[in-house]
Amino acid sequence: MSPDTVPTWVWLATVGAIAALFVFDFLTHVRKPHEPSFKEAALWSTFYVGIALLFGWGVWAYWDRQHGIEYFAGFVTEKSLSVDNLFVFVIIMKSFAVPAAYQQKALLIGIVIALVMRGIFIALGAAAIEQFSWVFYIFGIFLIWTAWKLASESLKHGAKSTDEEYEPNAIVKYVQRHLPTVPDFRGNALTVIENGKRFFTPMFIVILALGMTDLLFALDSIPAIYGLTDAPYI
């Protein structure tokens, strides 16, 4: 590939492959609700990390060494940042008392929502950087502020605990107040019809909370990635 541009077909193939992986994930083990064993979770994690590493090798081999290094640097950065996501996801699941058998579906759909929104953010960030180079300084200031905030909270509250309470953001609070909902889970359904009226289930609220939370984390990770590379594809 050209050092500066990525062909349209590569973009389409990449997006198509990601979509296919989500469909594969849904059809193979999310469609049938069950509580995954540690072995199953470990195997799936290994599978997806392997795909990510294989993709990085492809970037290195078919693009160039520099972009390969940038990809792996970004991969390690995102993996590090995702640890914080994990704690928050656990807190959300516990707060809503999501049955273990339905957690995979909630996570998958929530991640899809966040991925779409992240894609929009990345496109906007790339356009902004293309037009205004000083946007990098804004990204840098934001990352410094985020680091200071996290350090302050860590010193104030100590190590994170999964016993912490989840505080819904404004969007989740609005949905909880204004949409008709039922108090308990109805399998893994997002909505149910009772007495001729449609109600949203806690599963819908959980998915929304996960998606919005992951989107908020993107406000940290996207500037961090643009600090490592200016290639939107990476």
Predicted TM-score (pTM) of the model is 0.74
pLDDT tens readout for residues 70-118: 999 989 988 887 777 777 888 888 888 888 888 888 888 877 887 787 7
pLDDT tens readout for residues 108-160: 887 788 778 777 777 777 777 677 667 667 766 766 776 676 667 666 655 54
**Mean pLDDT score, 204-218:** 81
Question: With 60 as the cut, is the pLDDT of residue 33 above it?
Answer: yes
Q: How far is CA 26 from the centre of its chain?
A: 16
- The Cα–Cα gap between 176 and 24 comes to 32
Confidence at residue 57, expressed as pLDDT on a 0 to 100 scale = 95
Three state DSSP letters for 85-148:
HHHHHHHHHHHCCCCHHHHHHHHHHHHHHHHHHHHHHHHHHHHHHHHCCCHHHHHHHHHHHHHH
Q: Which residue has the higher pLDDT, 170 or 10?
A: 10
Percentage of the chain surpassing pLDDT 90?
A: 15
**Mean pLDDT score, 3-28:** 85
Confidence at residue 214, expressed as pLDDT on a 0 to 100 scale = 77
Confidence at residue 157, expressed as pLDDT on a 0 to 100 scale = 57
Confidence at residue 162, expressed as pLDDT on a 0 to 100 scale = 45
